[in-house]
Chain A
Amino acid sequence: GAVVSQHPSWVICKSGTSVKIECRSLDFQATTMFWYRQFPKQSLMLMATSNEGSKATYEQGVEKDKFLINHASLTLSTLTVTSAHPEDSSFYICSARRSGRVTGELFFGEGSRLTVL
């Protein structure tokens, strides 16, 4: 099966610092990866679409300067929460679709829980 690894699984940081979350597809190539955010007991909200070798596409209301996304290779996308504040505390989940598949199943990482003090 396809495996997506996300790291770190949890992180606590001080307000004002930046945090980087990595998302790797371990056994397949992913031209496109997606970053979601989930608040407690709520659904997943799409933040941005990460495209290998090009700029990410952000959803309305998501600050691109706040949430920096880099998709430098076919197996790695990173999300950097810059100058984090307590309201950025959330569960961030990445997902990937196999290259060549334009629709269909997404494979999810285990999520990264960010707590900003």
Chain B
Amino acid sequence: SQQGEEDPQALSIQEGENATMNCSYKTSINNLQWYRQNSGRGLVHLILIRSNEREKHSGRLRVTLDTSKKSSSLLITASRAADTASYFCATGLNQAGTALIFGKGTTLSVSS
């Protein structure tokens, strides 16, 4: 089963612009993670934010988490053509050893 929704489903921007993707989820979580997937490839972990954190940065990535609204956002600053990919949020539940549940994803296209 899927945990939630990302929006937008698709986003097209120019190089240098910022890209913001949002994710909502339904249940209580231990952490929320963002992954990137290039077409036809596996997933690459980008960043993890724990349920007791509100904001986290990693390079050009900024993630926020609002547990009261059950939502998260991923901001990619100064985007590059190489950032073109699908981005998924995934939630880790409070139960040990459980899998991640993925959202529907946002497809980002960055034009040069």
Chain A residues close to B by CB (< 8 Å)? 4, 6, 31-32, 34, 36, 41-46, 49, 59-60, 91, 93, 95, 102-111, 113
Chain B residues close to A by CB (< 8 Å)? 1-2, 30-31, 33, 35, 40-45, 48, 88, 90, 92, 96-105, 107
A43-B105, A45-B2 are known contacts. Are A106 and B100 too (CB-CB below 8 A)?
A: yes
In the complex, what residues of A have CB within 8 A of residue B103's CB?
Answer: 43
Q: From B88, B96, B97, B99, give the contact of A43 (CB < 8 A).
A: B88
A43-B104, A46-B99 are known contacts. Are A103 and B42 too (CB-CB below 8 A)?
A: no
Task: Check A111–B41 contact: CB distance below 8 A.
Answer: yes
Task: Check B40–A113 contact: CB distance below 8 A.
Answer: yes
Chain B, Cβ-Cβ closest to A44? B102
Q: Once bound together, how far apart are the Cα atoms of A42 and B48, in whole Å?
A: 22
Task: Check A6–B99 contact: CB distance below 8 A.
Answer: no
